[in-house]
Amino acid sequence: MVKLIMGRHNRIIRYISVVLIICLIVAAFTGCGEKTSSGNAYVSIKTSLLPSQTIASNSEYELNWDEDARAVIYKSVTDKSYWSDVLYEKFLEGGESANGNSPISITVANTKTLKWDTVTSYEQLESNATMACKKIENGIRVTYFFEKYRIAVPVEYTIRNDSLLVSINGGTIFEDGIDYKLVSVSLTPNFCSLKNDTKNGYLFVPSGCGALMKTAETSTGVRNYSSEVYGDDGARQVPTDFVDDEAVRLPVFGAYGDGKALLGIVEEGAGSAVVVAQAGNERLGYSNVGIKFYVRGYDRFFFTYHGKPQGTTSRINDDIVNTKMSVGYYPLSGNDADYSGMAEKYRQYLQNNNKLKECDVDESAYSVTMLGGTGVTKSILGVPKKEIKALTTFNEANEIIKELSNQSDYEPVVRLMGYGDSGIRQGKIAGGSSFLSLYGKKDDLTSLLENNKKTFVDFDIVSFSKSGNGFSLSSDVAKTAIKYKAEHFAITPTRIMDEDNPYYIIARGMLSKAAEKALKKANKYAVNSVSLSTLGTIAFSDYSNQEYINKNGIESDVKKIIENMRKSKKKVAVSGANSYAVESADVVFDTVSSCGDYSELDVEIPFYQMVFHSYKTLYGESVNIKENMDLAIAKSLAYGMGVSFTITSRYISDSDDLSEYSIYGTVFDDNKTLFSEKIFNSNFEQVYSKISNLKLLDYNILSNGVSLSTFENGVLLYSNLTDTTKDTPVGKLKAYSFKLG
């Protein structure tokens, strides 16, 4: 009887399973003209294309489909200019380039050799692969089949009032996964492209503060740029890269030429995105910039044979991101058709989507970061013992702030950093539940906070090296793509790896709990202004949970934490932060002011500052530990930022942290004259007061290298960022000097 019931039960389950599979197939291919397949399993079909026609339109633009080119064209109704997912003009001239005629390309991993290959959709069509398309609401869905690799990718193009949305959904990608697995999709790489000979043509890439790549061909050949949005995944294992680069902090890119411009905004799935650009491609005759979406995470390793290094190999995660990834394309014309217009459009996008909030901090022309403690290793009877020594106590910080305030028109905005249980280095989450007694008593901190209301206390809630304060290194660490612990080591120019001091990235599911610990500690010590430096800077995945792969959802997690802090009446600062953190915070310390050391980039621009200036209080990187302090100060003003200093009360010669942190240049007594000469007794504060609350509308570099920053109300600032005296419309400017126009 039991066997009979069980057999009948199994038949019912099989019947229900078949019905569910059929439903999934129908749902996945609904309206696309494809034959059905088993869930997301791959199946071959016959090509099913629409005839050439206008798919959708509004008063400004129309969306066209060209059957012969197998291309989508987004055209202006008024001036007939257009953008296309292939190099359409080249196609009309008979061009047969695989790259130029491909709306998408994919990267696949061979499941046996682990080797990665990149394949264009045009190559597959030439090999008799198929396509299928179907009208959808206000647009078209085109499915690109990669027959050899048994992968199919549906792409949707949807027209909106002011833009075109192009998207893929990981949950609707088809593959059999036996011989090849999909790693990434380059989505419409030709949509944002220009001819190389376009007059004054350039590509905009958001490297660091922002940069331009001129489209003109040069003797060096094609120039390639690629960088991950929000920086490298904090939960990825990769070999060390010593390139002095800057992360992409904004999910945007663009192109300008012949009086028109196009801005791309990664509206969904930015954590999976990589900005990819190539300028001056002589063979293709075009330059382009676009987005590649990783649909699977990966780890990368060195491998050796008989002890000799052979190169690197990559291993991918089993799961595909099952969320939507999309890019919005916004055409710009007239006076808005340049990178300044792109910055204005992106700011409007943030405002229209209720993402950009006004800050709530009394500004100052300068900020000071006080470093709390540093580690020192002592030897006791030959046994090493680590201890923390104070670089700056609470009382010493209080006295330094008083002395600076007495000389200045402003009280500084202050950040107390490195006051955790391990000093500058990572320790327990939030630096432990209390402050070490070596920094002073609770009353000392209270006095400091009461005397300066603009003092932010920093809490690290992302990285930690010790169990405690409610978190364990064995169970509360994020996992990499192949389920390793997300572990990092100190990397310095003189020491490649410090294996005695690893730190770990917290599990994504524990991030909100870590924020609660920081908030509890802040309330315990009456801290009303909280700094969350690592939270705003480190975007990371956690492959122990499908919900968090490829940095998925990091934007909403971080914004929720910051907004909860603000609901608890806390002001919030972040550091060198990604856009999603800046949008909700009040103050940004260490605001990026460089595009990075890339030879491929031609012109540095303060795009980041143009987006956020006047909405947020921005402070640049510390000038007193820069190689050229005068240049750093002048650039801070030119980019509309306050100036920053990093200060300690004393120098500790046996610090373990000297190879990683420039604390030898931070002693206050050694910096007093710099404050006086460069800030208090110069015109820095006066100029800052004129521009601090005005939008930075435009930034140009004149023919002699002098920069011109244009703010609201016609306020002009000329800054000489060169090392020689220059003539300007406001008279001669000495090296690294500035003057309002």
CA distance 641 to 367: 10
CA distance 277 to 611: 22
How many Cα atoms sit within 13 Å of 168 on the Cβ side?
30
Q: Which helix (H) or strand (E) holds 406?
A: helix 394-407
**Nearest CA to 530 among 551, 514, 542?**
514
- As beta bridge partners, residue 169 has 324
Q: Buried b / exposed e across 579-598, counting CB within 10 Å, b at 16+?
A: bbbbbbbbbbbbbbbbbbeb
Q: Which long-range contacts (CB under 8 A, 24 or more apart) does 668-673 make?
A: 668/400, 671/624, 671/645, 671/647
Q: Counting Cβ atoms within 10 Å, is residue 12 exposed (0-12), middle (13-18) or buried (19+)?
A: exposed
Q: What are phi and psi of 10, to 5 degrees?
A: -65, -40
**Nearest CA to 163 among 406, 330, 408, 337?**
330
CA distance 648 to 667: 5
Q: Which helix (H) or strand (E) holds 23?
A: helix 2-29
Q: Any idea what DSSP says for residue 542?
A: -
Q: Would you call 444 helix, strand, or coil by DSSP?
A: helix
CA distance 275 to 187: 11
Query: Which residue intervals of 568-654 are DSSP H helices?
Result: 579-582, 607-612, 629-638
CA distance 286 to 81: 17
Evaluate whether 204 touches 256 at the Cβ level (below 8 Å).
yes
CA distance 618 to 706: 22
List of E strands, 231-360: 252-257, 260-268, 273-281, 286-294, 298-305, 308-316, 324-333
Side chain identity, residue 524: K
Evaluate whether 539 touches 578 at the Cβ level (below 8 Å).
yes
Q: What is the pLDDT of residue 409?
A: 85
Residue 740 CB neighbours (<10 A) = 16
Q: Would you call 324 helix, strand, or coil by DSSP?
A: strand
Q: Buried b / exposed e across 417-427, counting CB within 10 Å, b at 16+?
A: bbbbbbbbbbb
Q: Buried b / exposed e across 151-175, counting CB within 10 Å, b at 16+?
A: bbbbbbbbbbebbbbbbbbbebbbb
H and E: helices and strands count for the chain: 14, 43
Side chain identity, residue 432: G
Evaluate whether 162 touches 346 at the Cβ level (below 8 Å).
no
CA distance readout (Å), 690 to 407, 496, 630, 634: 20, 46, 20, 15
Evaluate whether 208 touches 595 at the Cβ level (below 8 Å).
yes
**Nearest CA to 524 among 459, 433, 457?**
433
Evaluate whether 217 touches 196 at the Cβ level (below 8 Å).
yes
Evaluate whether 73 touches 88 at the Cβ level (below 8 Å).
yes
Q: What is the pLDDT of residue 369?
A: 97
Residue 309 has which token pair? 């290094």
CA distance 632 to 283: 40
Q: Would you call 714 helix, strand, or coil by DSSP?
A: helix
CA distance 91 to 103: 12
- Which residues have a Cβ under 8 Å from the Cβ of 637 and sit 6 or more positions away? 643, 684, 687, 688, 691, 717, 719, 738
Q: What is the pLDDT of residue 244?
A: 60
Q: What is the pLDDT of residue 608?
A: 98
Q: Counting Cβ atoms within 10 Å, is residue 636 exposed (0-12), middle (13-18) or buried (19+)?
A: buried
Q: Is the dihedral of CA 348, 352, 356, 360 positive or negative?
A: positive
CA distance 355 to 594: 25
Q: Would you call 86 helix, strand, or coil by DSSP?
A: coil
Q: What is the pLDDT of residue 73?
A: 97
Task: Average pLDDT across each block of 10 residues of the chain; the chain has 741 residues. List them in order.
Answer: 34 38 38 40 87 96 96 94 95 90 96 94 84 96 95 97 96 94 97 95 98 93 95 87 79 95 98 97 94 96 66 88 96 95 97 87 91 91 87 98 93 96 95 97 97 96 96 97 89 52 94 98 97 97 95 97 96 96 96 92 97 95 93 97 97 87 90 94 94 95 96 96 95 96 89
Evaluate whether 138 touches 159 at the Cβ level (below 8 Å).
yes
Residue 143 has which token pair? 């499915």
Q: What is the total residue count of the chain?
A: 741
